[in-house]
Amino acid sequence: MRERERWKPSKYVMHGGKLRPSTDRGELAASSRLIARLIADKYQPAICEYARGLMLDLGCGKVPFYETYREHVIDNICVDWPSSTHGNRHVDMLCDLSRPLPFVDGSFDTILSSDVIEHLPDPLLAFSEMSRLLRPGGILLLNTPFLYMLHEIPHDYYRFTHYAIQRLADVTGMETLQIEEIGGPGAVLTDLLSKALASLPFVGLPLSIATQTLGGAFIRLSSDSPRKSRALARFPIGYFLVARKRADTGSFGPP
Instruction: Give per-10-residue mean pLDDT for the chain (255 aa).
Output: 97 96 96 97 98 98 97 98 86 96 98 98 98 98 98 96 98 98 94 96 96 90 64 90 89 47
What pLDDT, on a 0 to 100 scale, did the predictor assign at position 233? 81
Q: Tell me, what CATH number does 122's domain have?
A: 3.40.50.150
φ, ψ of residue 11 in degrees (nearest 5): -65, -35
Distance CA 163, CA 169 (A): 10
- Give the residues across from 52 on adjacent strands: none
| 158 assigned to some structural domain | yes
| pLDDT on residue 254 | 43
Beta pairing partners, 143: 114, 240
Torsion-angle region of residue 137: left (phi > 0), alpha (psi -120 to 50) or beta?
left
Whether residue 77 is contained in a domain is answered as yes
pLDDT at 86: 77
Task: Please check whether residue 239 is in contact with residue 143, taking contact to mean a CB–CB distance below 8 angstroms.
Answer: yes
Looking at 11-152, which runs of residues are DSSP E strands?
12-15, 18-21, 54-58, 75-80, 93-94, 108-114, 134-145
Residue 159 lies in a domain: yes
Q: Give the C-alpha separation, 82 to 98, whole Å.
A: 12
Residue 194 lies in a domain: no
- The answer as to whether 220 is a domain residue is no
Single-letter amino acid code for the residue at 61: G
Could you tell me the residue range of the domain that residue 15 belongs to? 4-183+235-245
Is 29 buried (19+), middle (13-18) or exposed (0-12) by CB count in 10 A?
middle
Residue 57 in any domain: the answer is yes
Burial of residue 32, with CB atoms counted within 10 A of its CB: 0-12 exposed, 13-18 middle, 19 or more buried: buried
Question: CA torsion, points 12, 18, 23, 28, in degrees to nearest 10?
Answer: 30
Q: Is residue 144 part of a domain?
A: yes
Q: What is the reported pLDDT for 172?
A: 98
pLDDT of residue 251: 52
Q: Say what the pLDDT of residue 253 is.
A: 46
The pair phi, psi for residue 240, each rounded to 5°, is: -125, 130
Cα Rg, the chain, nearest whole Å: 18
Q: Which helix (H) or strand (E) holds 194?
A: helix 185-198
Rounded to whole angstroms, how far apart are CA atoms 159 and 117?
Answer: 9
Number of domains in the chain: 1
Closest CA to 131 of 154, 100, 158: 100
Residue 213 lies in a domain: no
